Amino acid sequence: MTEPIGLYIMAAMYIVAGVIHFIKPKMYMRIMPKYLPSHKSLVYLSGVAEILLGIGLCIPKLKAISIYGIIAMLAVFLLVHFYMLSGKKAAAGIPKWILILRIPLQFGLMYWAWIYLN
């Protein structure tokens, strides 16, 4: 364990988040933009991506590609965050101020991943 603890915390966070996609897929499907096809498949695919990228952070040869993958994934997830701001139904009951705060948080998560590139 030569990497900083923050990298392993990040890895655990993505692995847990990915697993939740399979435990509670409906939670994710209800926030999917209507213009995207195959909501259930996309929820499962994003869950697999989060799990694999989280695991990849813990494997030295895969760390850099996993970081780039996480940054790309988070950029794609911005579609969902902006969609949720489009209306009351899309917000899924989440207060608007929280939805707005999630956008800079997303960029913070991207930066958190970026700092572990060496």
Output Rg (C-alpha) for the chain, integer angstroms.
Answer: 15
Write the CB contacts of 79 (distance below 8 Å, at least 6 apart in sequence). Answer: 33, 36
Domain that holds residue 63: 5-114
49 with 19: CB under 8 angstroms? no
Q: What is the pLDDT of residues 58-116, one digit of tens each?
A: 999 999 999 999 999 999 999 999 999 998 888 988 999 999 999 999 999 999 999 99
Q: What is the pLDDT of residues 25-40, one digit of tens each?
A: 999 998 999 889 999 9
The predicted structure's pLDDT at residue 43: 97
Q: How many domains are there within the chain?
A: 1
> DSSP assignment, residue 33?
-
DSSP string, 34-73: TTSS-HHHHHHHHHHHHHHHHHHHTSTTTHHHHHHHHHHH
